[in-house]
Structure formats: structure tokens, C-alpha cells
């Protein structure tokens, strides 16, 4: 247990905090639960009194008195049970939402590498299934234990004291065996249930991929093959379920059998006791009810253990996420989030500190976490405030990686990257990222309106600001030509737009932030030259007074940059202005000439023709 606890420290801590916050609900709930259990364990005894009073031909008033007691007890149990369920079970619904929000908030602080290594589907499962499993521990698990222990203790006491110890012993005889049998069954069931879930998750993953990749599947006419592959997953789903059922279907009959055996012993032995006058007929009737009452919790012991173990497994899984360290100094999400709202209302009105766009990179070497391939070697670089850096380089040479590091998507050690004179690791993430406008290489749009995609879920911009940003990005005319204009809802990831349209909306999204550093990662690859030119013209204005980083494969895009670097296999092999690089007659020069050669050819051709 000690070992266990060390694994689940973070989640338990969260749970404790929650329980402390809700302690009165829990305390009241538990007290009421105890009272309820006490009363409900008296009910069979009252039924016994009723039977006796009738069998012994007592006056009607006596019978009626017992009957009234019976009704009163039932009503009391009803009211009390509602009360404790409201307090205890209700709190657990709070707990579920509380954990889910904490989890989401925490996920928002996790580094990019976390998302490289975890499947979206699995992460969703944590937030829904695992958290529900934990809720069940607190709901069903705890209350059943409390209820069961109290009811059984009292019932057994009554049975032993007022009815017959021997009979009680006989009735309870099958219990230990049954607990054991059910425990082992449950264990098997859990294993097999795990397989069912895995099969289901894998099938979902399969379907998910074949829908996301449907364009590829169709383009290569792979539908039939996909179906065939899917059927394998489909079959596994069936097989795992059947193997689960083979075991789990035993559970019901085993329970029936338990009750059955107790009843049989009771008929044989108890019948004798009544006939010989050792116990009354009322006791006999009461006893048969007690068997039911007692066996209930005993049969559910297996289930409780199961819920517990699943809960613990879920807590451990969640803990793996909660223990993932957040990006350095990302706002401590676990502290700021309270149920259904943020604890500290961070004042929006207060503008974020402006960062000066002076970037220095010193001896930077980098490999992605979990790999040993060095992607960036010994990068040394300085971009003065207001200057623009152009980056060229082969596919896979590390351009995007360099930018990722400036955004602190991946961690670097102290002393390598400085922005505005400060080590990047000491700039609050919020300040850093609010000050950088980034146009990623692949354009992810959310399936919402174009407007919302540009302002990106923060409705602080006026319509004219949004329109201006769209104009700067050269997409305005097209947007207003859509029937719904800025309110056009785009498809998933933006599928209903053309490549260039998506790209330009991403540009607008970055520009509207009015950042001190603007980064464009191959962001004009999908637009035609005319549009490219127009955007570059606009960007010149936008970049005035800002620091810019422009990545491209086209010399035409970077040639006017104040500095250009040429990356190859993660090293800067050339650097300088366009003119300097041309004079160098190296990689840049070759690239330039190859891109321009044909153009010049044609100029000549054209001049002649």
C-alpha cells in the first residue's frame, strides 16, 4: 500500500483537497447513512413480530401496532436514504466534474512532446472513463461498504441473539466460500473486461483513422481493403465479449445458488426448530428476510473489490498525467481552477507586458525528447529588435524545430535562448506567447466560424480589427464573397476551404495579435505568386518595428530579410544578407540561381520573341 501510495500521490492529494472542501457533506451523509442502516436492519424483525402476533392470535390492536411500526420504519428509511444519497452520492458527481476540469486544465499545461506521444483517443478516455471509475469508488464503493458493514453487523446480532445462533451459523455457512468464488470470478472478469475495452478502443481508433484519412483511402481505392481490415477489429470485439460472458454469466447463477443453499439449510434445520417450538414462526419469517438482507452485501463484496481495483487503476493512470510536469512556469492550473470557474479571476483589462523582440541564440544543440538524433547543432544567432530573419534549408533541416524552441514548445536548458535580454526560461509563458504571432506550417483551423478562427476564441477584437487583419493577410475579398461572410463555419480542420485560404486565415490569426515577434513558417507555400507578393508587401508594413522570422523554400520570400541563414542537417552553413550570400557563391547562391535560372532564360526568350 505504501508503494502504491507513492505512485498515486498527486491524484490523492487532489482528492483530499476536494474532500476537505466538501467535508460537511460527507460527515452529515455518513451519519445519516449509519442511522438508515440501523433502522433498515430492524425491519425484518418487525415483520417477524407481525407474523407472530397473527399466528398466536393476539388482539388486532397489537398486530396493528406492529404494522404501523413497519410502515413508519419504511417511510423513515426512505427519507433518510434520500438524504444520505443526496449528500454522499451527489458530492461524488461534484468530484467527477472537479477532477475532469483539473485534468483538462493540467493537460493545457503539458509540453508538446506529451501530445506527440499520446493518442487523442486515449486522452479522451482518461477524461471520461477513468474519472467515472474513480467516482464510482467514492460513490458505490464507500457507501456500500459502510452500509453493508452496519446492516450485516446489526442483522447478525439480532439473528444470533433473538432467533438462533446455530441457525445463523448455518445460514452464513456458504458465505465465505461464495465471497472467495466471487472474488476470483471478479478477477477473471476484470481481466477479460479489460480486453473488451481494449478491443473497443482499438476498433474506435481504427474507425477514426479511416475516417480522417478517407481522402487518401478513396484516392487509392482502398475501401474494400479497409473494410476487410476493420472486420478483424470487429471480430476481436465479438470474441473478447464472448470470452467475458463465459465468465461473467456465472455471477448471477452463483448468487442465486448462494441464496438457494442458505434457504435450503434453513428449510431443513429451521423447519425443525419451529416444529419443535424452539423458535416461533415469526422468527422463521424474519429469518428468511434476514438471509436476503445479509446476502446482499456479501454478494456485492466482489463487486466492491472490483470497483475499488478499477478505481485504483484509473487513479494510477490519471496520476501518470498529473505527474507529468507542466512546462516551466505555466500557470499552475491545479491551483487556479476551482469547480466550474477559475479561482483567481485574472484581470483581462491589464495588458500583458510587452516583450522586446531582441532574440539571441547561443550554442544551441537540440534533440527531441526521447530520441537521440540531434536536430539542431551549435546554433548561434542574433536578431536585433525590428529586424527580420529569413531561414532557408532543406526539408527536415530543423527550421520548424528552431521556431518550436522559440515558442518554448520543447524545453531547452538555461543559457541558450534569450529574448529581450532575458533567458527564455525565465519569461512567463504567457508573456512569451502573447508576444509572438505564429503562423504554423500546417494550418489547423477549428470547426467554427472564420471570425472565431481569426480572433481565436477571445472576443476582444472589434469587427474592423478582424477585417483589417483579413485584409493584411489578403483573404478579405474571398471571405466576403462567401454567402455567410465572416460567419461561414468551416469544416473539420478547415476542410471546406482551399489550401491557400486556410493559410491566409492562419496569417490573419497571427497578425491580429499585434505581436512584437512575428513568425511565418513556410506560410506562403500554398498561395500563388501574385497573392504572395501582395501579402509580402503588407507584411513589410506589419513588420515595421517588429521582429520577424520568415521560413521559406523560396528565395523570393526571404531575400529582403535583414539576415538570412541557411540550415543544413541542423547546422547553419551560411549566413548574411542577400548580397553577402550571393557573393559567397555557396548553397544560397546555388539555390538562387536554380530558382532564377529558368526565369532569366525566359526573360531572354521573351526579349527575343
Partner 1 sequence: MEYRMDNEYVLRRPKKALFIRLLGYFKPYLPLLALNILFAFLINGAALIKPYIIKHVIDNYLALKIYAPDVFMRMGLLYLAVVLAGCALTYSQTYILTYIGQKIMYDMRKQLFTHIQNMSMKFFDRNSSGRILTRVTNDVEALNEIFSGVLVNSVKDIIMILGIIATMFALDASLALISMGSIPLIVLVTFIYRKAARKNFLRMKMLIGRINGFLAENISGMKLVRIFHREKEKLQEFQKLDKEYFDTSLREVILNSLGRPIIEVINTLIIAVMIWYASGRITGGHLEIGVLYAFITYIRQFFAPINEIAEFYTSIQSALISAERIFDVLDTRELSEDMKTGKHVERIRGEIEFKNVWFAYDDENWVLKDVSFKIEPGETVAFVGATGSGKSTIISLMARFYDIQKGKILIDGVDIREYNLKDLRRQIAVVMQDVFLFSGDIKSNIRLRNSSITDEDIMRAAKLVCADRFIESLPNKYDEEVKERGCTFSAGQRQLISFARAVAFDPAVFVLDEATANIDTETEMAIQQAMANISGGRTTIIIAHRLSTIRNADKIIVIDKGRIKEIGTHDELIKKGGLYRQLYEKQLVYQCIA
CA distances to 197, 256, 365 from 380, in Å = 50, 76, 10
**Cell numbers found for residue 192:** 477479460
**Cell numbers found for residue 501:** 485560404
**Neighbouring C-beta atoms of residue 276, cutoff 10 Å:** 8
Residue 434 binding partner 1, by CB under 8 A: yes
How far is residue 286's CA from residue 263's CA, in Å, rounded to a whole number? 13
CA distances to 18, 44, 338 from 156, in Å = 36, 12, 45
Residue 401 binding ligand ATP, by CB under 6 A: yes
217 binds, among Mg ion, partner 1, ligand ATP, none (CB under 5 to 8 A by kind): partner 1
In the complex with ligand ATP, the residue whose CB is nearer, 41 or 531, is: 531
Helix, strand, or coil here: 549?
strand
In the complex with ligand ATP, the residue whose CB is nearer, 100 or 553, is: 553
Residue 50 binding partner 1, by CB under 8 A: yes
Binding residues for ligand ATP, total number by CB under 6 A: 22
Alpha helices for 269-339 (secondary structure H): 271-275, 281-322, 333-336
Among 40, 155, 288, 400, binds ligand ATP (CB under 6 A): 400
In the complex with partner 1, the residue whose CB is nearer, 8 or 432, is: 432
What are phi and psi for residue 441, nearest 5 degrees? -70, -40
Residue 394 binding partner 1, by CB under 8 A: yes
CA distances to 28, 145, 298, 301 from 85, in Å = 11, 14, 21, 20
434 binds, among ligand ATP, partner 1, Mg ion, none (CB under 5 to 8 A by kind): partner 1
Contacts of 275 (CB under 8 A, 6+ apart): none
CB 409 within 8 A of CB 116: no
In the complex with partner 1, the residue whose CB is nearer, 283 or 467, is: 283
81 binds, among ligand ATP, Mg ion, partner 1, none (CB under 5 to 8 A by kind): partner 1
Helix, strand, or coil here: 56?
coil
Measure the N-to-C terminal CA separation of the chain; round to a whole number of Å.
88
**Neighbouring C-beta atoms of residue 477, cutoff 10 Å:** 9
Query: Angle 469-513-535 (CA atoms, 0-180°, nearest 5)?
Result: 40
How far is residue 240's CA from residue 262's CA, in Å, rounded to a whole number? 34
In the complex with partner 1, the residue whose CB is nearer, 155 or 397, is: 397
How far is residue 587's CA from residue 594's CA, in Å, rounded to a whole number? 10
Residue 540 binding partner 1, by CB under 8 A: no
CB of 534 to ligand ATP, least distance (A): 14
Among 200, 233, 368, 456, binds ligand ATP (CB under 6 A): 368
How far is residue 69's CA from residue 48's CA, in Å, rounded to a whole number? 12
In the complex with partner 1, the residue whose CB is nearer, 9 or 596, is: 596
Binding residues for partner 1, total number by CB under 8 A: 181
DSSP labels, 158-204: HIIIII-HHHHHHHHTHHHHHHHHHHHHHHHHHHHHHHHHHHHHHHH
Residue span binding ligand ATP (CB under 6 A) among the ranges 234-242, 348-356, 399-407, 542-550: 399-407
How far is residue 415's CA from residue 530's CA, in Å, rounded to a whole number? 42
Site for partner 1 in 586-605 (CB under 8 A): 590-591, 594-596, 598-600, 602-603, 605
What are phi and psi for residue 48, nearest 5 degrees? -60, -45
Among 20, 276, 544, 608, binds partner 1 (CB under 8 A): 276
Site for partner 1 in 140-199 (CB under 8 A): none
Among all residues, whose Cβ is closest to ligand ATP? 500
DSSP secondary structure letter of residue 493: G
Site for partner 1 in 304-343 (CB under 8 A): 331, 333, 337, 340-342
How far is residue 346's CA from residue 90's CA, in Å, rounded to a whole number? 30
In the complex with ligand ATP, the residue whose CB is nearer, 374 or 582, is: 374
How far is residue 145's CA from residue 564's CA, in Å, rounded to a whole number? 70
CB 450 within 8 A of CB 490: yes
Among 116, 122, 414, 492, binds ligand ATP (CB under 6 A): 116
Among 397, 453, 455, 547, binds ligand ATP (CB under 6 A): 397
In the complex with Mg ion, the residue whose CB is nearer, 100 or 553, is: 553
90 binds, among Mg ion, ligand ATP, partner 1, none (CB under 5 to 8 A by kind): partner 1
Residue span binding ligand ATP (CB under 6 A) among the ranges 61-69, 119-127, 389-397, 591-599: 389-397
131 binds, among Mg ion, ligand ATP, partner 1, none (CB under 5 to 8 A by kind): none
Among 309, 533, 538, 577, binds partner 1 (CB under 8 A): 533
**Cell numbers found for residue 38:** 440501523
Residue 484 binding partner 1, by CB under 8 A: no
**Cell numbers found for residue 76:** 423513515
Gyration radius (Cα) of the chain, Å: 36
CB 439 within 8 A of CB 548: no
Among 343, 462, 498, 602, binds ligand ATP (CB under 6 A): 498
Residue 426 binding partner 1, by CB under 8 A: no
Contacts of 56 (CB under 8 A, 6+ apart): 280
Site for ligand ATP in 20-49 (CB under 6 A): none
Contacts of 181 (CB under 8 A, 6+ apart): 254
603 binds, among ligand ATP, partner 1, Mg ion, none (CB under 5 to 8 A by kind): partner 1
CB of 401 to ligand ATP, least distance (A): 3
Residue span binding ligand ATP (CB under 6 A) among the ranges 18-26, 154-162, 498-506, 594-602: 498-506
CB of 553 to ligand ATP, least distance (A): 7
Helix, strand, or coil here: 432?
helix
**Cell numbers found for residue 20:** 476537505
How far is residue 509's CA from residue 426's CA, in Å, rounded to a whole number? 26
Among 212, 325, 343, 462, binds partner 1 (CB under 8 A): 212
Residue span binding Mg ion (CB under 5 A) among the ranges 59-67, 320-328, 398-406, 413-421: 398-406
Sketch the per residue contact string, 418 through 457, with Mg ion: x for CB under 5 A, - otherwise: -----------------------x----------------
Among 400, 404, 501, 552, binds Mg ion (CB under 5 A): 400
Residue span binding partner 1 (CB under 8 A) among the ranges 49-57, 152-160, 167-175, 379-387: 49-57
The residues that touch ligand ATP, with contacts defined as CB under 6 A, are 116, 368, 371, 375, 393, 395-401, 441, 495-501, 522, 526
Binding site for Mg ion (CB under 5 A): 400, 441, 498-499
Amino acid at each position: 500500500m505504501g508503494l502504491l501510495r507513492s505512485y498515486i500521490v498527486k491524484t490523492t492529494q487532489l482528492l483530499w483537497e476536494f474532500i476537505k472542501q466538501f467535508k460537511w457533506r460527507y460527515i452529515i451523509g455518513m451519519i445519516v447513512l449509519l442511522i438508515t442502516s440501523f433502522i433498515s436492519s430492524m425491519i425484518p424483525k418487525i415483520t417477524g413480530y407481525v407474523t407472530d402476533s397473527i399466528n398466536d392470535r393476539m388482539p388486532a390492536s397489537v398486530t396493528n401496532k406492529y404494522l404501523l411500526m413497519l410502515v413508519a420504519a419504511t417511510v423513515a428509511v426512505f427519507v433518510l436514504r434520500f438524504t444520505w444519497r443526496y449528500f454522499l452520492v451527489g458530492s461524488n458527481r461534484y468530484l467527477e466534474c472537479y477532477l475532469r476540469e483539473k485534468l483538462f486544465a493540467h493537460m493545457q499545461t503539458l509540453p508538446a512532446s506529451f501530445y506527440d506521444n499520446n493518442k487523442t483517443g486515449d486522452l479522451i478516455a482518461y477524461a471520461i472513463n477513468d474519472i467515472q471509475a474513480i467516482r464510482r469508488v467514492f460513490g458505490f464503493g464507500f457507501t456500500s461498504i459502510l452500509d453493508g458493514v452496519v446492516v450485516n453487523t446489526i442483522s447478525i446480532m439480532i439473528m444470533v441473539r433473538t432467533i438462533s445462533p446455530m441457525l445463523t451459523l448455518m445460514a452464513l455457512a456458504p458465505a465465505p466460500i461464495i465471497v472467495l468464488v466471487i472474488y476470483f470470478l471478479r478477477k477473471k472478469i476484470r481481466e477479460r473486461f479489460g480486453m473488451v475495452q481494449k478491443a473497443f478502443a482499438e476498433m474506435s481508433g481504427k474507425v477514426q483513422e479511416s475516417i480522417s484519412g478517407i481522402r487518401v483511402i478513396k484516392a487509392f481505392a482502398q475501401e474494400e481493403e479497409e473494410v476487410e481490415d476493420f472486420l478483424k477489429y470487429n471480430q476481436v470485439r465479438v470474441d473478447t465479449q464472448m470470452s467475458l460472458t463465459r465468465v461473467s454469466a456465472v455471477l448471477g447463477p452463483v448468487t442465486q445458488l448462494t441464496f438457494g443453499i442458505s434457504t435450503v439449510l434453513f428449510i431443513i434445520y429451521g423447519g425443525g426448530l419451529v416444529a419443535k417450538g424452539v423458535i416461533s414462526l415469526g422468527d422463521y419469517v424474519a429469518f428468511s428476510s434476514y438471509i436476503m438482507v445479509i446476502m446482499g452485501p456479501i454478494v456485492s463484496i466482489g463487486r466492491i473489490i472490483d470497483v475499488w481495483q478499477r478505481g485504483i487503476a484509473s487513479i494510477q493512470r490519471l496520476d501518470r498525467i498529473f505527474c507529468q510536469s507542466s512546462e516551466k512556469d505555466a500557470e499552475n492550473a491545479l491551483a487556479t481552477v476551482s469547480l466550474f470557474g477559475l479561482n483567481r479571476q485574472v484581470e483581462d483589462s491589464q495588458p500583458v507586458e510587452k516583450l522586446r523582440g531582441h532574440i539571441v541564440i547561443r550554442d544551441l544543440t537540440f534533440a527531441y525528447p526521447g530520441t537521440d538524433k540531434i536536430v539542431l547543432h551549435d546554433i548561434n544567432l542574433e536578431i536585433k529588435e525590428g529586424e527580420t530573419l529569413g531561414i532557408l534549408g532543406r526539408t527536415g533541416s530543423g527550421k520548424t524545430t528552431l521556431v518550436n524552441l522559440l515558442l518554448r514548445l520543447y524545453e531547452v536548458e538555461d543559457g541558450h535562448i534569450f529574448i529581450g535580454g532575458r533567458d527564455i526560461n525565465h519569461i512567463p509563458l504567457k508573456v512569451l506567447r502573447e508576444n509572438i504571432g505564429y503562423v504554423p506550417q500546417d494550418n489547423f483551423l477549428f470547426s467554427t466560424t472564420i471570425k472565431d478562427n481569426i480572433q481565436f476564441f477571445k472576443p476582444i477584437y472589434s469587427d474592423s480589427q478582424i477585417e483589417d487583419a483579413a485584409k493584411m493577410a489578403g483573404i478579405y475579398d474571398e471571405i466576403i464573397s462567401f454567402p455567410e461572410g465572416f460567419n461561414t463555419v468551416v469544416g473539420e480542420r478547415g476542410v471546406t476551404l482551399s489550401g491557400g485560404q486556410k493559410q491566409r486565415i492562419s496569417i490573419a490569426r497571427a497578425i491580429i495579435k499585434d505581436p512584437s515577434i512575428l513568425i511565418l513558417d513556410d506560410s506562403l507555400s500554398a498561395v500563388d505568386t501574385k497573392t504572395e507578393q501582395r501579402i509580402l508587401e503588407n507584411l513589410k508594413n506589419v513588420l515595421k518595428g517588429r521582429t520577424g522570422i520568415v521560413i521559406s523554400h523560396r528565395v523570393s520570400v526571404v531575400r529582403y530579410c535583414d539576415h538570412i541563414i541557411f540550415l543544413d542537417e541542423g547546422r547553419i552553413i551560411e549566413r548574411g544578407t542577400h548580397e553577402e550570400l550571393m557573393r559567397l557563391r555557396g548553397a544560397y547562391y546555388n539555390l538562387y540561381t536554380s530558382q532564377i535560372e529558368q526565369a532569366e532564360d525566359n526573360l531572354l526568350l521573351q526579349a527575343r520573341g
